[in-house]
Amino acid sequence: AATYDVTAVEEKWLRVWKDLDPFRADDDSPREKRYALTMFPYPSGDLHMGHAEVFALHDVVARYWWLKGYEVLNPMGFDSFGLNAENAAIRDNEHPATFTYENIAISTESCKKFGTSFDWSRTLNTSDPEYYRWTQWLFLRFYERGLAYRKESPVNWCPVDQTVLANEQVIDGHCERCGAEVTKRELTQWYFKITDYAQELLDNLDELEKTWPDRVITAQRNWIGRSEGAHVTFDVVGSSVVEPGEERAGVETMTVYTTRPDTLFGATFMVVAADAKLARDLVTDDQRPAYEEYLEEVRKASDIERLSTERPKTGVFLGRYAVNPVNGQRIPIWAADYVLADYGTGAIMAVPGQDQRDWDFAKRFDLPIIRTVQVPEGFPDDEAYVGQGAAINSANDEISLNGLGIPEAKRAIIDWLESKGYGKGAVNFRLRDWLLSRQRYWGAPIPIIHCPVDGEVPVADDQLPVVLPELRGADLTPRGVSPLAAAEDWVNVECPTCGGPAKRDSDTMDTFVDSSWYFLRYCSPQDDTQAFDTDLVNAWGPCDVYIGGVEHAVLHLLYARFFTMVLNDMGLVGFREPFSAQLNQGTVINQGAKMSKSKGNGVRLGEQLSAFGVDAVRLTLVFAGPPEDDIDWAEMSPSGSLRFLQRAWRLSGDVTSAPGADASAGDVALRRITARTVHDAEGLVDGFKFNVLVARVMELVNATRKAIDTGVGGSDPAVREAVEAVTILLSLVAPYVAEEMWERLGHQPTVARTSWPTVEESLLVEDTVTCVVQVRGKVRARLEVAPDISEADLEAAAMTDPDVVRAIDGAEVRKVIVRAPKLVNVVVS
């Protein structure tokens, strides 16, 4: 059988596309706009199978929208700051830009060759000064609104990368990038106040749930981690008994956050995070040496270890006592590592009766335990009871919770605490402010100048961008402070306010800042007067679909949502949620395992492309299964895909009718199959069922082949109609061969910008059904009718049928019972 030359076809159409430039999004187009966004990659090397998969899936949607008559914005760029390039630069004694821009050039070429429908006229790189100028501008707007601020705090520290990590970048206590165990450090750092938006970030998920994957919604809800409870304030005193001359109770206080204020009568000690400032403030001189020693130990542990219930409890007494507001009892204040400094207030009231970690701590240090919830019968007496039950041991002169269930007890005690001024109902979020400063070189410098006189002074807008100084190789080696701090010429400046000697902030921004607004920049990427054009952003946005990896479920998506809300508050963006719908692709694995160097099971994209061609690889990725499922490349057959494409291509050579031939004269059976396939394809693309779409195209190819070989033959206009439909549908997945087929069918390129086939509704109607006509209870005729025939039409058809007329034989018709489409019963006298 005839075959096409894959390589020749690719070379030919790549040239044609370059000339035609068919995917340029026109801001002024009268057509309805759609915005198809796919997560832009890090330029860490050439494209790999993972990129191929996401681009192939994404392209189905973007190309479909063009064919359906939308003006489509489908941009691509590079998230080009970050540690990858910096580490490569240190290794190769180079500038990070060298590595970065070489990889961008290579990836861009590969991306084009992969037949993607990106609009390259809008490309951007976050490491271009033309881009990070606006990242810095946005930082200053956040700063003005109090949404960017500095504070000293214990931060996650990666001892290998020598940099601070956001909570999101610590996975099971280890650095997300290099795997080293993360420790804590006290540093002054920049934060974005994302916590101001915690409630809205949570609330909007209820709506996004309809169009976003469940796993992303769940991950974001958990990350935001809203809980309801109370703040309770305890007086702090120096002694467990009231002694003459002791410091007066109420002078000093400490506040805890608790989700179980109902258990307050069971609070038998307090625990402060050992590394919280409060612990340092509270500890007595006697206890200070023991405390300092303990603190050293704590600094080595990760948050995950600290919170683990498995871990043996450790701690140190701080030498002071808190007064329980419900019963006046003086309970000791301890420091321990199982309480975290940056959650709640960094201190807890410990209720060993109802909390297992408190129980373990009480046992370890011989502290009292009081149960305040009735345990069920048979409950072991050596563990905390965390379940539901009636309150016990919970009464004072003014209030009794005894007998109340947990929710009622909570409400009662919060009312009492509020009336006494000892506390208040409170909501707490697990979400922390976003730590955005990095002590690394390859990022956007923070546009702030520190002056001994004027403090923090923002760089003036017209002085942006603050361009990175030229550093390379060993200059970039991490040493705990940013390499920028050592670039004397760069870091030393005059204070913009007083003119005295001052220093630039030497930290750079987390690359997640860059990627929190890139989708806005795509709307006016060359604009050098503003970060983005608000009108254009509102015309294109929000993104109608966002396709990318589930690894970004929390970090990137939460940050981008936060940015959009802030920019909306500033009046710069007309919507509050940036991504209307979302799809996460699965992972390409091999032989049942994630591809990795050590397992030696990596599949090289380049090799697959030269062996089978772009179209076959794309088809394989799309046909493999539902897009969100993993693809095991070992079970795939790109050669099978190529055979199918050859078969489809052969159809285009067998069509002998002329372009524009009137299909209505063609074979109805084939026309019905074509119409049904095109009609269903729309729902399949909208529902992200791309694999089913491919299966349906395969069926249409088979039916068409049969019509040509053993049916109506290649001259029937229904065959042309079918092959044109195959070509257009196939262009969503296999653009090269589709282009070739389109040309062989006598059309001008490009198939990508033709229109989606129109479907004649009448062809979607099921074939016919048999209607039985009875006269005097006997079957007299069988009629072939359309399944949606009306009762009137069916009655008319029955009453004029010759056999029925003969059976009635002139008798008086008393009644005609019509049950469309299957039965007509004629009652005659």
Residues within the annotated binding site for ATP? 597
302 binds ligand ANZ (CB under 6 A): no
- Among residues 52, 301, 318, 349, the one that binds ligand ANZ under rule CB under 6 A: 349
367 binds ligand ANZ (CB under 6 A): no
Whichever of 122 and 371 has its CB closer to ligand ANZ, that residue is 371
What does each C-alpha distance from 555 to 182, 216, 510, 821 come to in angstroms?
18, 11, 11, 57
**First-residue to last-residue Cα distance in the chain:** 69
What does each C-alpha distance from 581 to 151, 552, 561, 573, 577 come to in angstroms?
36, 15, 13, 18, 10
Options 321-329, 343-351, 540-548, 600-608: segment touching ligand ANZ (CB under 6 A): 343-351
269 binds ligand ANZ (CB under 6 A): no
355 binds ligand ANZ (CB under 6 A): yes
423 binds ligand ANZ (CB under 6 A): no
Residues in binding site: 597
CB of 308 to ligand ANZ, least distance (A): 12
- Based on its alpha-carbon atoms, the radius of gyration of the chain, rounded to whole angstroms, reads 35
Whichever of 344 and 458 has its CB closer to ligand ANZ, that residue is 344
Two structure tokens written together for 470: 């030229």
Whichever of 307 and 603 has its CB closer to ligand ANZ, that residue is 307
- Among residues 103, 127, 258, 516, the one that binds ligand ANZ under rule CB under 6 A: 258
- Among residues 259, 287, 327, 402, the one that binds ligand ANZ under rule CB under 6 A: 259
Q: How many residues belong to the site for ligand ANZ (CB under 6 A)?
A: 18
Nearest one of 697, 753, 747 to 725, comparing CA atoms: 697
Options 195-203, 339-347, 488-496, 740-748: segment touching ligand ANZ (CB under 6 A): 339-347
222 binds ligand ANZ (CB under 6 A): no
Contact 715, 707 (CB under 8 A): no
Please count the residues of the chain: 829
Whichever of 355 and 577 has its CB closer to ligand ANZ, that residue is 355
Q: What is the DSSP track for 170-237? A: EETTEETTT-PBPEEEEEEEEEE-GGGGHHHHHHTHHHHTTTS-HHHHHHHHHHH-EEEEEEEEEEEE
562: left (phi over 0), alpha (psi -120 to 50) or beta: alpha
268 binds ligand ANZ (CB under 6 A): no
Which residue is closest to ligand ANZ by CB?
A: 354
Helix (H, G, I), strand (E, B) or coil at 487: coil
Two structure tokens written together for 688: 């992200």
- Among residues 3, 227, 530, 770, the one that binds ligand ANZ under rule CB under 6 A: 227
Whichever of 355 and 544 has its CB closer to ligand ANZ, that residue is 355
Distance CA 270, CA 232 (A): 12
Q: What is the dihedral of CA 518, 520, 523, 525, to 10 degrees?
A: -40
Distance CA 523, CA 586 (A): 29
CB of 263 to ligand ANZ, least distance (A): 5
Options 85-93, 104-112, 340-348, 405-413: segment touching ligand ANZ (CB under 6 A): 340-348
Options 237-245, 347-355, 756-764, 795-803: segment touching ligand ANZ (CB under 6 A): 347-355
CB of 254 to ligand ANZ, least distance (A): 12
Distance CA 649, CA 744 (A): 9
351 binds ligand ANZ (CB under 6 A): yes
- Among residues 325, 346, 542, 578, the one that binds ligand ANZ under rule CB under 6 A: 346
Options 254-262, 415-423, 620-628, 711-719: segment touching ligand ANZ (CB under 6 A): 254-262
257 binds ligand ANZ (CB under 6 A): yes
Options 288-296, 351-359, 575-583, 641-649: segment touching ligand ANZ (CB under 6 A): 351-359
CB of 200 to ligand ANZ, least distance (A): 19
Whichever of 9 and 230 has its CB closer to ligand ANZ, that residue is 230
Q: What DSSP character marks residue 698?
A: H
Helix (H, G, I), strand (E, B) or coil at 366: coil
Whichever of 318 and 349 has its CB closer to ligand ANZ, that residue is 349
Considering only residues 77 to 96 of the shown chain, the ones binding ligand ANZ according to CB under 6 A are none
Report CA torsion sign: 214, 220, 224, 225: positive
Angle of the 690-710 helix axis to the 668-686 helix axis, nearest 10: 170
Question: How many Cβ atoms from other residues are within 10 Å of residue 415's Cβ?
Answer: 12
CB of 251 to ligand ANZ, least distance (A): 24
CB of 324 to ligand ANZ, least distance (A): 12
Helix (H, G, I), strand (E, B) or coil at 93: coil
What does each C-alpha distance from 535 to 158, 520, 538, 575 come to in angstroms?
42, 11, 5, 12
Options 350-358, 640-648, 658-666, 695-703: segment touching ligand ANZ (CB under 6 A): 350-358
CB of 431 to ligand ANZ, least distance (A): 11
705 binds ligand ANZ (CB under 6 A): no
- Among residues 41, 344, 666, 757, the one that binds ligand ANZ under rule CB under 6 A: 344
Q: HSE (CB half, 13 Å, CA atoms) of 241?
A: 2
What are the φ and ψ backbone dihedral angles of 516, each rounded to 5 degrees? -85, -5
> Which amino acid does the sequence have at 305?
E
Helix (H, G, I), strand (E, B) or coil at 300: coil
53 binds ligand ANZ (CB under 6 A): no
Distance CA 327, CA 420 (A): 13
240 binds ligand ANZ (CB under 6 A): no
- Among residues 290, 295, 340, 692, the one that binds ligand ANZ under rule CB under 6 A: 340
334 binds ligand ANZ (CB under 6 A): no
Nearest one of 766, 775, 767, 745 to 757, comparing CA atoms: 745
Whichever of 143 and 359 has its CB closer to ligand ANZ, that residue is 359
Site string for ligand ANZ, 529-568 (x = CB under 6 A): ----------------------------------------
Options 18-26, 257-265, 529-537, 550-558: segment touching ligand ANZ (CB under 6 A): 257-265
Write out the H or E segment, with its range, that includes residue 701: helix 690-710
CB of 187 to ligand ANZ, least distance (A): 20
CB of 510 to ligand ANZ, least distance (A): 24
- Among residues 74, 354, 508, 652, the one that binds ligand ANZ under rule CB under 6 A: 354
SS (H, E, C) 613-665: CHHHHHHHHHHCCCCCCCEEHHHCCHHHHHHHHHHHHHHHHCCCCCCCCCHHH
CB of 373 to ligand ANZ, least distance (A): 8
Residue with tokens 């129980």: 359
CB of 228 to ligand ANZ, least distance (A): 9
Whichever of 355 and 667 has its CB closer to ligand ANZ, that residue is 355
Q: What is the DSSP track for 663-694? A: GGGS-HHHHHHHHHHHHHHHHHHHTT-HHHHH
- Among residues 343, 490, 633, 649, the one that binds ligand ANZ under rule CB under 6 A: 343
Interacting residues of 106 by C-beta distance below 8 A, sequence separation 6+ = 45, 46
428 binds ligand ANZ (CB under 6 A): yes
Distance CA 246, CA 577 (A): 57
Whichever of 111 and 276 has its CB closer to ligand ANZ, that residue is 276
348 binds ligand ANZ (CB under 6 A): yes
Distance CA 7, CA 609 (A): 10
Q: What DSSP character marks residue 62?
A: H
260 binds ligand ANZ (CB under 6 A): yes
Binding site for ligand ANZ (CB under 6 A): 227, 257-260, 263, 273, 339-340, 343-344, 346, 348-349, 351, 354-355, 428
